């Protein structure tokens, strides 16, 4: 059977997220709980989580989480890492032996910083350098797959039901101010861990429910800019689009949502003239990054998250709030599992970005 990346696998999913605007630490346990009532939205073939603010002691270092198929792949990859980064810490990611999670690869974590000499030689900034190295490993080094590469955040994923994956990675031992979670329902899968979600690049992580019909138009466009879609999944291409528009093109989150879930031309025409002008402009120049077909996504990053539905709202997604904590999930039941006593239940309209920023990040920007 072909591995993920050699074949395109559609899937349905469950997603959820929680973020504390005032950076109050939240245990990974909380977000695991949200996935239990949505059990039937997954089929045991992929689950995962992303936590932000989980590595405060190493917050200035890129945290690479890597799956290895073999010791040989690990040796080769570590040689590459040493040539390109200073490694301040290398360790296996602690896991709990449970019967539900099998065929475990080697799972390693590295805290690293780019070698300045190399960055100067390539005349790129730290993020671009790191992103290129991630891309190199994932495309060229057989048996090694970087599945998390941001600072002070980490992705944890595996083949299994999400609640089992959370227990497997001992997420109850981690605390962060923001979590996203994903349960996957692929139509078929070779059971490869790299194919589970969230998908991440630098500190961007994406969980996604849907099957986008624009996939190949998006993929072929984004690959012009140095990205290589190795997994053939929607989540991967959406992550690269977010990285391209936010980091490289320097769009705001709202502007990005006007690209990927652009309003219909008729709707744009009825907007306030200045707003209409900007949206028309963005649709014209980034037309190949419009995403069609059903999706609900949560894009996490250091400082907040953005939830977004496709413009027809073909996938469910609700949001809620309690105090300074904001919750998002495919189903209200998932939110109630995290916090029964929420207020402001709200289902964002198709194409309407739901942006939550931490107070600290809001002050910065």
Please give the residue ranges that form the binding site for other proteins (CB under 8 A). 8, 10-12, 187, 210-211, 213-218, 220-221, 223-225, 248-251, 255, 262, 264-266, 274, 277-278, 280-282, 284-285, 287-288, 290-294, 311-312, 314
Decide whether 166 or 353 has the Cβ nearer to other proteins: 353
Decide whether 15 or 32 has the Cβ nearer to other proteins: 15
Instruction: Specify whether 13 is catalytic.
Output: yes
Report d(CA 10, CA 263) in Å as an integer: 25
Beta strands in the chain (DSSP E): 11-20, 26-27, 47-52, 62-68, 85-92, 106-114, 144-148, 153-158, 175-176, 178-186, 199-201, 204-210, 295-301, 304-309, 318-322, 325-329, 343-346, 354-357
Smallest gap from Cβ 23 to other proteins, in A, equals 27
Residues 286, 343 contacting (CB under 8 angstroms): no
Smallest gap from Cβ 293 to other proteins, in A, equals 5
Q: Please give the C-alpha separations between residue 248 and each of 150, 214, 241, 252, 313, in angstroms, as whole numbers.
A: 16, 22, 10, 11, 28
Decide whether 170 or 213 has the Cβ nearer to other proteins: 213
Report d(CA 164, CA 324) in Å as an integer: 29
Smallest gap from Cβ 209 to other proteins, in A, equals 11
Decide whether 262 or 306 has the Cβ nearer to other proteins: 262
Smallest gap from Cβ 16 to other proteins, in A, equals 21
Smallest gap from Cβ 262 to other proteins, in A, equals 8
Nearest to 62 by CA among 87, 28, 80: 87
Decide whether 144 or 259 has the Cβ nearer to other proteins: 259
Report d(CA 15, CA 357) in Å as an integer: 19
Beta strands in 95-198 (DSSP E): 106-114, 144-148, 153-158, 175-176, 178-186
Tokens at residue 322, please? 């309690």
The SS3 assignment for 9 reads coil
Residues 114, 66 contacting (CB under 8 angstroms): no
Smallest gap from Cβ 32 to other proteins, in A, equals 27
Decide whether 43 or 118 has the Cβ nearer to other proteins: 43
Write out the catalytic residue numbers. Answer: 13
């Amino acid at each position: 059977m072909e591995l993920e990346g050699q074949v395109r696998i559609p899937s349905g999913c469950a997603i959820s997220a929680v973020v504390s605007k005032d950076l109050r630490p939240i245990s990974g346990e909380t977000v695991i709980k949200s996935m239990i009532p949505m059990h039937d939205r997954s089929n045991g073939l992929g689950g995962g989580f992303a936590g932000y603010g989980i590595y405060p002691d190493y917050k200035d270092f890129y945290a690479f989480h890597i799956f290895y198929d073999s010791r040989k792949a690990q040796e080769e990859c570590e040689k590459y890492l040493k040539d390109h980064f200073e490694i301040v810490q290398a360790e296996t990611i602690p896991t709990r032996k449970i019967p539900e999670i099998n065929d475990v690869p080697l799972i390693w974590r590295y805290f690293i910083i780019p070698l300045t000499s190399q960055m100067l030689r390539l005349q790129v900034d730290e993020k671009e350098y790191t992103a290129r190295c991630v891309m190199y490993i994932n495309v060229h080094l057989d048996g090694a797959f970087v599945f998390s590469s941001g600072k002070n955040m980490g992705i944890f994923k595996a083949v299994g039901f999400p609640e089992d994956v959370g227990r497997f990675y001992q997420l109850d031992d981690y605390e962060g101010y923001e979590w996203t979670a994903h349960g996957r329902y692929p139509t078929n899968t070779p059971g490869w861990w790299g194919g589970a979600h969230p998908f991440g690049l630098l500190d961007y992580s994406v969980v996604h429910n849907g099957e986008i019909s624009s996939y190949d138009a998006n993929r072929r466009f984004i690959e012009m800019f140095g990205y290589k879609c190795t997994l053939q999944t929607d989540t991967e291409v959406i992550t690269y689009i977010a990285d391209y528009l936010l980091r490289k093109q320097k769009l705001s989150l709202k502007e990005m949502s006007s690209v990927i879930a652009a309003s219909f031309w008729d709707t744009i025409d009825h907007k306030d003239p200045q707003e209409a002008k900007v949206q028309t402009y963005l649709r014209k120049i980034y037309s190949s990054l419009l995403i069609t077909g059903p999706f609900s996504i949560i894009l996490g990053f250091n400082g907040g998250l953005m939830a977004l539905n496709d413009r027809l709202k073909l996938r469910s997604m609700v949001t809620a709030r309690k105090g300074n904590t904001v919750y998002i999930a495919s189903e209200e039941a998932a939110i109630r599992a995290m916090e029964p006593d929420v207020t402001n239940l709200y289902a964002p309209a198709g194409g309407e970005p739901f942006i939550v920023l931490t107070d600290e990040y809001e002050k910065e920007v």
